Amino acid sequence: MRSLGACSARGPIRNRTLVGYDPRYAFVFLSENTMSVIVPESELPQELSVEAAVEAAYASTLAETATDLLRGLPVLIECDKELMPFLFMNVRARLRQHELRCLFLDGRNPPEGQMPQGIISNMIGQLTDAVRGAVDQRVVVLPHLDLLVTSQGGLTSEAKEVVALLYENPELVWLGFKDPSFSLPSVIENLFPHRHSLLGIARDRLPHLITQKEARKFGRRFNPWTLYKYVSGMNAARLRRMLSTLEGEDYPDDASRAFAQIRQATSGGKLEVPNVSLESDLGGYRKVKQRLKSEILDILARKDQSTSPEEIGRLEGLIPRGMIFWGPPGTGKTLFAKAMATEIGAAITIVSGPELKSRWVGESEENLRRIFHKARQSAPSIIVFDELDSFASARGTYTGSGVEHSMVNQLLTEMDGFNSEELVFVVGTTNFVDMLDPALLRPGRFEFHLQIPYPDTEDRRAILQIYNDSMNLQFTDEALDFAVKRTGDFVEGAAAGTRFSGDHLNALCRSLARIRLRDDKTGSTETADIERALTEWIDRPKMTSAEQKVVATHEAGHAVVNLFCEHAKPIERISIQGDAAGALGFVQYQDPAHRYVVTRGQLLDDLCILMGGREAEQLLLDDISIGSAGDLDRATDIARALVEDFGMGSPDVGVVSFSSKRPNSDGRRSGLSASQLEAIDRSIVQLLQDARERAASLLTKHRQIVELLRDELLEKQSLDARSIAAFMDHANA
């Protein structure tokens, strides 16, 4: 019976069936026309040295290298340092069969008659002797080309002597070895017309690199394709050393112990292998999770379960390797990447974009090369570039030193070097997806875009419930409802426009936990505790009683007008505590039932509500404050949009849009006649005047309710939706 390696090279076995089961031949035929990836134990080698493993893993490349050298063609091999000696010995043995000598210049010993010096000086001495003393054709081996290169990718001062020597004697044939973490200057790379990259191992060679004894640690049915998921980035020498140390029983029902040992070895003990559950550790975000599962995780799971080479190859071609997780700060983009890594058993490397940059030429690209090389060695792995836009913004928009352009090119080069068999993913997180270089976003690179927005009501409830359980906060049902609603607006004490993210909810719950600890509280968390956690340390303005009366009157005016406008949004909360950024008081509204269609009636009601605060001050205080400046600004914008953009102004303006007209330096619309400009301004002013008169009429009609609500606010400082409903029931009784 032939091995899988031999069969896969010739295509699938056809028209064969399997009857019965024997653990020595533990493979399965899925159908008459498809061979399984399960390999019979008897087809695996009984013993295997490192040298034999290197031959088995890279036979075709080694044979091609020897052929090129015999033809007098220099060859450059990119490989790990630990693999280099075994490759050299294999090539040397092949060349000896043709009586071609090799000269190994490792810089350990100086040329005869010279004092010992540093490695590079010794190497230059050896090279000089080889170049100027050689009279016959020979292969000169340069095992440490990276020592000739600076960290910035240029040549060291000593290396400049070497370059001239490399081109001096045409009788010499060069065999160079390059570390994948370093790039070589073109003046050295151009010396090698033939180049090979031996990073990791090919999947079809893996059955030739594991012994029967080692395969028994993975159960009765050895699937090398499942193992390959964890060793794709390892070279053959390292793989042999790792497999020879496997511990555990033979033919276990659960092979997790063997895979855990491999995972520990491939991660090197340095990379994080996270333990974040997509379901139990990340609350809410049902659609985000569903998309991540259906387009990535479910396909990977199906691939792992398949034993058909054809199906596995097809599924691998469907999985995007580059992903963009984008959304506002604090929404859990990196946490989703960790959850994805947990689901597929991957190590994760989190790289900050600004940390990659270096002032030294070439060092930023070198940093990228090392990160990708380490990730491939530790596959399955995920590289997370946090703040990807910090160096990968659209080319032509850079304002720095220009290193960003080179970093983007290097990133694209590394991503293009992936093959479909490797489980290495690249996730870029950003708050500004529109700023990214378009070359990164095309299919084949960062083609999978996952938006992670601010949490909605359902998401906030789920997130708070997770922290409630993990921190033992003991929310009452009423407190949880209050927390969900209370965190639906902007964050108090933060920059204007900042909404509650997952990080803010985490901070809220940790603040509650600290309060419970300080107060030695063991009972339930109430709504008052949540309000305290949100506002206890906010530096609120110290208003006098007269100032508070003005603010309460103003907010009561907004609220009462809202309550009697047909198209207004329901009120969620009213406050005069000065706990909103830049405002002494505010009225917070619930999320609208209709978010995408806005009518003229809604906009006219918005104008009326905005005028309510100013008109309430005029009605009850017989004076007005400057606190309505922001209201007037927003109202004017709405009125201008009604007239100029939406064709909803007065009849003398007409149903026409002026939004395409650019304003002049004086702010007026260009290309319009004086009569048109006058009609536009007159229509805007009329809309604002109508809204003001309508608000004044509503407040006069319901003056008693305005006064009662003002007094209620002065007493309680803050009212939620339930309190407002109770107040209105009492006021209308």
Choose the final residue of a domain: 505, 535, 565. 535
Q: 29 and 146, same structural domain?
A: no
Confirm whether 281 is domain-assigned.
Answer: no
Question: Rounded to whole angstroms, how far apart are CA atoms 625 and 543?
Answer: 14
Q: What region, left, alpha or beta, does residue 261 occupy, with left being phi > 0 and alpha being psi -120 to 50 degrees?
A: alpha
Give the per-residue pLDDT at 33. 38
Give the per-residue pLDDT at 504. 93
Give the per-residue pLDDT at 450. 93
Q: 149 and 109, same structural domain?
A: yes
Q: Which residues of the chain have pLDDT under 70?
A: 1-36, 107, 109-118, 134-136, 149-159, 268-271, 357-362, 394-404, 493-494, 496, 579-582, 592-594, 659-670, 733
Q: 650 and 622, same structural domain?
A: yes
Q: What region, left, alpha or beta, does residue 177 occupy, with left being phi > 0 and alpha being psi -120 to 50 degrees?
A: beta
Question: Rounded to whole angstroms, how far apart are CA atoms 410 and 437?
Answer: 13
How many of the other CB atoms lie within 10 Å of CB of 636?
Answer: 16
Strands 138-142 and 322-326, by their bridges, are unpaired
pLDDT per residue over 666-687, tens digit each? 455 667 788 888 889 999 999 9
Mind telling me the catalytic residues? 555
Question: Rounded to whole angstroms, how far apart are CA atoms 559 and 554?
Answer: 9
Cα 240 off chain centre by: 34
pTM: 0.76
Choose the final residue of a domain: 390, 425, 451. 451
CB-based contacts of 87-90 (< 8 A; 24+ apart in sequence):
87/54, 87/58, 87/62, 87/177, 87/198, 88/141, 88/143, 88/175, 88/177, 89/51, 90/51, 90/54, 90/55, 90/58, 90/62
Sheet holding 194-197, edge to edge: 102-104, 138-142, 172-178, 75-78, 194-197
Greatest pairwise CA separation for the chain in angstroms: 114
Question: Rounded to whole angstroms, how far apart are CA atoms 655 and 657?
Answer: 7
Q: 647 and 556, same structural domain?
A: yes
Confirm whether 277 is domain-assigned.
Answer: no
Q: 562 and 492, same structural domain?
A: no
Question: Rounded to whole angstroms, how far apart are CA atoms 268 and 312?
Answer: 28
Q: 683 and 661, same structural domain?
A: yes
Q: 397 and 291, same structural domain?
A: yes
The range of the structural domain enclosing residue 188 comes to: 50-197
Confirm whether 192 is domain-assigned.
Answer: yes
Q: 312 and 389, same structural domain?
A: yes
Token readout for 218 is 């993975």
Q: 326 and 470, same structural domain?
A: no
In sequence order, which residues have a C-beta less than 8 Å from that of residue 90 and are 6 or more positions away? Answer: 51, 54, 55, 58, 62
Confirm whether 279 is domain-assigned.
Answer: no
Question: Rounded to whole angstroms, how far apart are CA atoms 484 and 489?
Answer: 10
Give the per-residue pLDDT at 387. 84
How many domains are contained in the chain?
Answer: 5
Task: Say which CATH number the domain at 330 has.
Answer: 3.40.50.300
How many of the other CB atoms lie within 10 Å of CB of 659?
Answer: 10
Question: Rounded to whole angstroms, how far apart are CA atoms 733 and 667?
Answer: 52
Which residues, listed in sequence order, are joined to residue 707 by a DSSP beta bridge? none
Choose the final residue of a domain: 267, 298, 319. 267
Query: 3-state class of 295 per DSSP?
Result: helix
Q: 483 and 409, same structural domain?
A: no
Give the per-residue pLDDT at 32. 35
Q: 214 and 173, same structural domain?
A: no
Strands 29-31 and 718-720, by their bridges, are unpaired
Are 423 and 229 in contact by the 8 Å Cβ rule? The answer is yes
Confirm whether 275 is domain-assigned.
Answer: no
Confirm whether 657 is domain-assigned.
Answer: yes
Task: Say which CATH number the domain at 516 has.
Answer: 1.10.8.60
Using CB atoms within 10 Å of the CB of residue 317, give its burial: 0 to 12 exposed, 13 to 18 middle, 19+ buried: exposed
Give the per-residue pLDDT at 131. 78
Question: Rounded to whole angstroms, how far apart are CA atoms 40 and 13?
Answer: 14
Q: 222 and 179, same structural domain?
A: no
Confirm whether 274 is domain-assigned.
Answer: no
Confirm whether 272 is domain-assigned.
Answer: no
Residue 508's identity, in one-letter code, is L
Strands 571-575 and 718-720, by their bridges, are antiparallel
Specify the length of the chain in residues: 733
